[in-house]
């Protein structure tokens, strides 16, 4: 996803987002990180590309389709994080 599209979509969101950027290295560190993050988010959709940066947010961005989706189930409900690969073009 082009970085400019991500920035525009982030600016258009009115909700408060939890967001961070994480590099997925050759050892699939993004998946490992999310499994440890807040006691366990598991990858339920997508395939992280090695050596790419991902914007991870807790709500889907307007008008954009995420490449990754992580789910955390607790006793009350499921919580999700959405991953958008950041490309420079």
pLDDT at 18: 87
Separation of first and last alpha carbons in the chain: 8
Q: Label residue 60 left, alpha or beta by phi (over 0 means left) and psi (-120 to 50 means alpha).
A: beta
Per-residue pLDDT of the chain (89 residues; tens, 9 = 90+): 688 888 888 788 777 888 899 999 988 899 999 999 877 899 999 999 999 999 999 999 988 999 999 999 876 778 999 999 998 65
């Amino acid at each position: 996803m082009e970085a400019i599209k991500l920035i525009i979509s982030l600016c258009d969101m009115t909700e408060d987002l939890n967001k961070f950027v994480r590099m997925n290295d050759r050892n699939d560190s993004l998946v490992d990180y999310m499994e440890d993050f807040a006691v366990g988010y598991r990858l339920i959709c997508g395939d992280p590309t090695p050596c790419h940066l991902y914007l991870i947010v807790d709500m889907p961005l307007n008008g954009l389709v995420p490449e990754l989706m992580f789910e955390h189930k607790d006793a009350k409900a499921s919580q999700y994080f959405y991953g958008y690969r950041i490309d420079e073009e």
